[in-house]
Structure 1
Amino acid sequence: MAGNPRNGRPYRRLTAWLRAQRLPCWICGHNIGYELGAKHPLSFTLDHEVPLSKGGSLLDRTNARAAHRRCNSARGNRPTAPRQLVRASRRW
């Protein structure tokens, strides 16, 4: 049985590359708390523009986006455009 590909070196390298850019959340447009702990709702997570469950690539840089943990979780695997989620994400 293969291990989780998100624990592998290529995924960690992609996450580090995206984190180093310190971009705002692609879903809501607000700044991300890059210094926050991983479980904080406003901390950085790597989101995939095309969800993996919909055929998106895990390791493709063109599919990787910076997002708040909360925004990423709220979006789920819906291929919703960011502008459609801004109103909902601003409720916090």
Structure 2
Amino acid sequence: MAIKRLDRDGSHRKQFERNKKRIYATQTVCGICGKPVDFSIKYPHPMSPCIDHIIPVAKGGHPSDIDNLQLAHWTCNRQKSDKLFATNGKKVTKITSNRVLPTIIDWINYRAKK
């Protein structure tokens, strides 16, 4: 049985969606790789924008708190997954690269289907 994600299906869904809109309106840089995020790129493109939980929900992070959410590229978020490392007693996310893209698709000329 799949684990129910509160930010997708549960009581935190509305607040997560509100905070997602707020982050999309105020942030422009990926919180993982530090590169600009292009909002004209749509999913399933690996560089499309998405919301990352700084402390993953699977590791005890809050599913909808604005302080636990950040803008990210989809591929950066996938690579980060639920990884954490400790620095000075604080939980901090590990920075990963977003340059490992599938080579079977020409991502420079890719356009999502509308």
- Report the TM-score, using the length of structure 2 for normalisation: 0.66
| Bigger relative CO (Cα 8 Å, ≥ 6 apart) | 1
How far apart, CA to CA, are the structure 1 residues paired with 2:98 and 2:17? Answer: 27
Give the % identical residues: 26
User: Does the C-alpha gap of structure 1 residues 57 and 3 become closer, same or farther in structure 2, counting only changes over 3 Å?
Assistant: closer
- Match of 2:29, SS state, is coil
User: Does the C-alpha gap of structure 1 residues 12 and 84 become closer, same or farther in structure 2, counting only changes over 3 Å?
Assistant: closer
Consecutive unaligned residues of structure 2, counting only runs of 5 or more, are 86-91, 102-114
- Out of 69, 72, 92, the position equivalent to 2:74 is 69
Task: List aligned pairs for 1:74-85, cutoff 5 A.
Answer: 74-80=79-85, 81=92, 84-85=95-96
Larger radius of gyration: 2
How far apart, CA to CA, are the structure 1 residues paired with 2:61 and 2:33? Answer: 21
- Out of 28, 33, 43, the position equivalent to 1:28 is 33
